């Protein structure tokens, strides 16, 4: 009877993910010779070649791809067994691997982390900031327990619970004609050029939907990598952009905030829904529901549900 070491399956999955022995070894915290030697032993045990090796690239054979896919599932099941055992003792203790999209992480975490420390002192959040596609991949690989992403994430293998609806604000140069009013209607954006994030950000797609409704267009020759870059482009007078409410609230802390004006939208207010996603059947589900409740009850999140005042200047 062939006995397979889980460690060797992790090595195979790492090679499948990275397609490079050096990077796979680094991800597994072992030397490259150790990883290579163990994978050769695994091939000998199974009696089949798993990896095609040459000087230019690392490729998996058909058998290697099939076994690596199954190894993913096996390792996820093992991780869930370990998590289930820990959760039985204290669901709010131990490591919690949490992913966040870049357009929410920097603005929510400063409010969430202090509360987690006070309410769940035995919980150790490990934070990962990536775009939606990468977070979904890491969820399925078992590298994350949960991820905070914008709805929808169309993946039937994931479960989610809604956290909050976040309205968009229009950020515009202080001298822009739209800054004269206190509110913005979608029709006001007709013919305007909107600064957007680069491809891959879900917020870009949401902003494009707003542009389509308003008759606006994006500035094709410029796509930013972060909301902070967009904010500074607005301060320079390069155009206007949409900021989610949590990012907009951080505007007062920006040194040149006086160069930027923020305006809320009249009904219908463009917004996005944020949710916490995890694999169906995940052992940490009780902890994730508790985390979701903590997020919903943060003062900065509760404020999103409260009526806004008329004055929304950058100051």
Same domain, 58 and 127: no
In the predicted model, is pLDDT for residue 192 greater than 80? Answer: yes
What CATH number should be reported for the domain holding residue 155? 3.40.190.10
Same domain, 157 and 298: yes
In the predicted model, is pLDDT for residue 314 greater than 60? Answer: no
pLDDT class of 87 with cuts at 50, 70, 90: low
Query: Average pLDDT for residues 246-253, to the nearest whole number?
Result: 93
Split into its structural domains, the chain has a count of 3
Same domain, 176 and 39: no
Q: Which residues pair with 279 in a beta bridge?
A: 158
What CATH number should be reported for the domain holding residue 39? 1.10.10.10
Which residue range is the domain that position 193 belongs to? 165-271
> Across 61-65, 101-105, 283-287, which has the greatest mean pLDDT?
101-105
Helix then strand count (H, E) for the chain reads 11, 11
Judge whether 311 lies within some domain. Answer: no
pLDDT class of 88 with cuts at 50, 70, 90: low
Same domain, 290 and 155: yes
Same domain, 148 and 104: yes
Same domain, 280 and 160: yes
pLDDT class of 311 with cuts at 50, 70, 90: very low
In the predicted model, is pLDDT for residue 197 greater than 60? Answer: yes
Mean pLDDT of the chain: 88
Query: Among 68, 85, 102, where does a domain finish?
Result: 85
pLDDT of residue 86: 64
Same domain, 139 and 282: yes
Least confident of 19-28, 151-160, 202-211, 304-313: 304-313
Instruction: Give the rounded distance of the alpha carbon of 96 from its chain centre.
Output: 15
Same domain, 154 and 249: no
The share of the chain scoring above pLDDT 90, in percent, equals 61
Query: Among 29, 64, 85, where does a domain finish?
Result: 85
- Distance CA(298)–CA(114), nearest Å, equals 11
pLDDT of residue 83: 67
The separation between the first and the last C-alpha atoms of the chain, rounded to the nearest angstrom, is: 71
Same domain, 112 and 257: no
Q: pTM higher than 0.85 for the full model? A: no
Same domain, 254 and 186: yes
């Amino acid at each position: 009877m062939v006995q397979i070491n889980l460690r060797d399956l992790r090595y195979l999955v790492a090679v499948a993910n990275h397609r490079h022995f050096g990077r796979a070894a680094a991800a597994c915290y072992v030397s490259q010779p150790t990883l290579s030697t163990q994978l050769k032993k695994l091939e000998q045990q199974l009696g089949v070649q798993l990896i095609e090796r040459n000087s230019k690239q690392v490729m998996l054979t058909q058998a290697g791809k099939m076994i690596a896919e199954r190894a993913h599932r096996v390792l996820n099941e093992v991780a869930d067994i370990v998590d289930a055992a820990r959760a039985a003792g204290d669901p709010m203790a131990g490591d919690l691997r949490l992913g966040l999209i870049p357009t929410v992480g920097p603005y929510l975490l400063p409010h969430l982390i202090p509360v987690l420390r006070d309410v769940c002192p035995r919980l150790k959040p490990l934070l990962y900031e990536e775009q939606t596609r990468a977070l979904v991949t890491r969820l399925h690989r078992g590298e994350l327990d949960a991820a905070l992403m914008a709805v929808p994430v169309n993946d039937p293998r994931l479960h989610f619970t809604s956290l909050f609806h976040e309205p968009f604000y229009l950020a515009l140069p202080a001298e822009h004609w739209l800054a004269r009013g206190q509110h913005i209607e979608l029709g006001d954006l007709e013919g305007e050029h909107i600064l957007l994030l680069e491809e891959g950000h879900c917020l870009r797609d949401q902003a494009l939907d707003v542009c389509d409704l308003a008759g606006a267009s994006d500035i094709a020759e410029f796509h930013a990598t972060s909301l902070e870059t967009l904010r500074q482009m607005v301060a320079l007078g390069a155009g206007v952009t949409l900021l989610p409410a949590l990012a907009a609230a951080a505007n007062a802390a920006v040194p040149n905030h006086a160069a930027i004006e923020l305006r809320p939208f009249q009904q219908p207010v463009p917004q996005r829904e944020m949710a916490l996603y995890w694999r169906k059947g995940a052992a940490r589900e009780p902890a994730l529901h508790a985390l979701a409740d903590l997020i919903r009850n943060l003062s900065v999140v509760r404020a999103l549900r409260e009526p806004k005042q008329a004055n929304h200047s950058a100051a």
